[in-house]
Each structure stands twice: as C-alpha cells, then as structure tokens.
Structure 1
Amino acid sequence: MQKHFLCGYEDLNEGDSKGFSLGDKSAGMNNVFAVKKDGEVYAYKNVCPHRGINLEWQPDQFLDSEKALIQCASHGALFEIRTGECIAGPCAGDALTPVPVEYAQDGLYVLLAD
C-alpha cells in the first residue's frame, strides 16, 4: 500500500466533496474523491461501477442537490456516502470501491494499492 497526502482538514468542509488525482502519471493516475459527512471523511475510487467512468462532470461535484447521496453525473445512479452502496440506478446492488483514509496531524491521507 502507498500512502498519499489528500488534503488538510480545513480543505474539506462538512457536506462537501472533492476529487483528487494521485500518483505518478507514468504509472497511471489514481483518481479518488472524498466526502465529509457528520465529521467523518469517506473516500472512494472515482469510477462508476456501471460505466467505468468518472462520476462527476464538474470538478468536485460528486453529491446530489441535497448533499445526501453520491450521484453519478452520467446516468444518475445514487450511492450511500457511508458505504458506497448503489441504492438507485442501473448499478443498484453494486458499490463504489472504498479507499482507506488515515488521519494525521497535517491532514488526511489515503492508502492505495501499489
């Protein structure tokens, strides 16, 4: 597992989402996004399980209008923030791939497979 700095605590506000490109471009980018809900940070690979594409059309726009669920901008599938489980749409029953989050003094890190 490789540890990647994601952001400082102040860079991700409650109820917001943010996308990140991590890793060496020559080795392939690792696109992830994070959501802060109820003081916890949840991170997932930025890949729709139905289409294999990024979830957002606009930078950092991963949530529905109520900021209650993660939404795929391509076909509207809805995912639980805490579990990544798809609860509506063509990939119902599938789930986003979670990425472990580590809290440190200087901010948030994610752990990605080598």
Structure 2
Amino acid sequence: MAVDVLLPDGEESVILLRLGERVNAWLNICPHAGRRLDWAPGKFLVSKGMLVCAAHGACFSVNDGECISGPCRGESLRAMPVRVEQGDVLLDVLE
C-alpha cells in the first residue's frame, strides 16, 4: 500500500509493506528512473520477495529495499523510519 505523508521537504508517497509483524517503508521513488514504482496509485507488483518497478522492471528486495536486478544495480530504495505500536504503523519524526 502507499500513503501520502508530509515530510520536511514536502508531500511524498511512501510504500508500506507488512512482513509478518514487521513493516518496511520506502519512498515511492525508483532510484534509477526517479519515477513512482506503483503501476496504479497504491498498487504494486510484489513477486518472489521482490518489489518490481512498473516503469522499467527494476526489482528490489522486500526485506531491505536493495536492488536485486535490472538497471538499478548498486542502488536501493530510500528507507523511511517506521515502527508498529499496538497494530498501528507510525512514521518516526524526521529531523
């Protein structure tokens, strides 16, 4: 899922991906193409432990956001600090 959040530099789309009790969060921006990863607003292709960029097929690990294959080699998604408290996902304050 994606949510829009207000960050110090402005509003951004953030990907939230639940893995059991853990939630990973990244900016919804492909580090290679600079475009959103979703193929439709808030809709992502997740396959075989990979988050796939809709723009050009780059694949990122759902565990850490590292590029696994495609033109993004050596790049990773920008992680966002989140925590889960009593089932709620909270974005940690960015300074």
Q: Which category describes the TM-score, using the shorter chain as reference length?
A: 0.7 to 0.9
Larger radius of gyration: 1
- Which of the residues 41, 66, 81 maps onto 1:59? 41
Q: Tell me, yes or no, if the aligned pair for 2:23 and 2:83 is still in contact at 8 Å.
A: no
Q: CA deviation at 1:96?
A: 0.2
Are 2:62 and 1:85 aligned? no
4+ runs deviating over 3 angstroms? none
Matches of 2:91 and 2:48, distance apart in 1:
22
CA RMSD of aligned residues (A): 1.9
CA deviations 1:17-52 (Å, max 9, x no partner) are x0010127xx62121111112332100011100011
Work out the percentage of aligned pairs sharing the same amino acid. 35
Are 2:84 and 1:103 aligned? yes
Aligned length: 94
- The one-letter amino acid paired with 2:3 is F
Task: Name which structure has the greater RCO, CA cutoff 8 Å, separation 6+.
Answer: 1
- Which of the residues 32, 47, 52 maps onto 2:29? 47
Question: Equivalent residues in 2 for 1:60-75 (5 A)?
Answer: 60-64=42-46, 66=47, 68-75=49-56
Instruction: Give me the TM-score of the superposition, normalised by structure 1.
Output: 0.72
Structure 2: 5+ residue stretches without partners: none
Instruction: Give me the TM-score of the superposition, normalised by structure 2.
Output: 0.85
Change (3 A) 1:48 1:40: same
Higher helix share: 1
